[in-house]
Amino acid sequence: MFDYHVHTLFCGHAYGSMEEYVLRAVELGLEEIGFSGHYPYPPSFEETLPNCVIPAQSHPVYLAEAARLREAYRDRIVVRIGAEFDYLGDGQSFHPLDEARRLGLDFCLASVHLVDGVAVDYTPELLEKNLQRFTGGIDGVYDRYYRTLLEMVAPGYCTTVGHLDLVKKFNTLAGLAPGLDHSSMVEQVLERIASSGIAVEINTSGWDKPCGEQYPAIGILKKALELGIALTAGSDAHRPEEVGRHFDRLKVLLNQLGVRQLMRFEKLQAVPCDI
């Protein structure tokens, strides 16, 4: 198995050195670990929340340390170097896959955290405070979230869509559970992903969040498989001890779904691997 979604102290909101993450992956017997640090925002983007991404001046250091670890541990584990790009809509001044290619990365996650400037996964208090900005309250948030994903997904945009239904993170909390069915919008997103040749990440961090399940939900995963979408895996670790979290449950889930292969990435090329 491999873990293609980990964050380190370089991101400002995660903990532990990159080497600690590698050592934890080795301890777990993982075949690969992929660093997916939050890519710096463009200079023109106005940050409303602190410490969400790697500062631009620190990113070369992050890349250099990942390259050092790849060489130092080459006989014990494969270290992949990637990035998680936030989709910023009109505020985006770069193309993620082009940036990944320029930097020589192995994989390129693209994710939506901000919907019309509101972070949907930061805290339930912040989300609830901003509900009045959306027509329909929390259902308006869901609608805009999936429409934003539709805007994001296009051929050659990224290798992988991260935590596809992240918007559900707080859905068990009072006032933050949707009342409407958004499955038709989700299907549109999946169809766009399928036609774009992009993979979908199974993110195991959701089992530790109020929603209590992986991202995306099993129904979404079944539809993704029907459409021939490739899957990859990540823990979204923000501490070394979270590397590979719930991968035992992930293996059970994959078996239930009849999934026999996951997709790895090397130099932005997809490589199928048996589980």
| Alpha-carbon gap, residue 62 to 48, rounded angstroms | 23
pLDDT at 10 over 90: yes
Architecture, CATH, for domain 2-274: Alpha-Beta Barrel (3.20)
Residue 149: its H or E element = helix 138-152
Band of pLDDT at residue 244, cut at 50, 70 and 90: very high
Domain ranges for the chain: 2-274
User: Which residues share a beta bridge with 161?
Assistant: 110, 200
Given a contact cutoff of 8 angstroms between Cβ atoms, the answer to whether 44 and 113 are in contact is no
Share of the chain above pLDDT 90, in %: 94
Q: What is the pLDDT of residues 37-61, one digit of tens each?
A: 999 999 888 888 989 999 999 999 9
Q: How far is CA 222 from the centre of its chain?
A: 19
Q: Return the structure tokens found at 43.
A: 């200079």
Q: What is the pLDDT of residues 133-143, one digit of tens each?
A: 999 999 999 99
The predicted structure's pLDDT at residue 91: 57
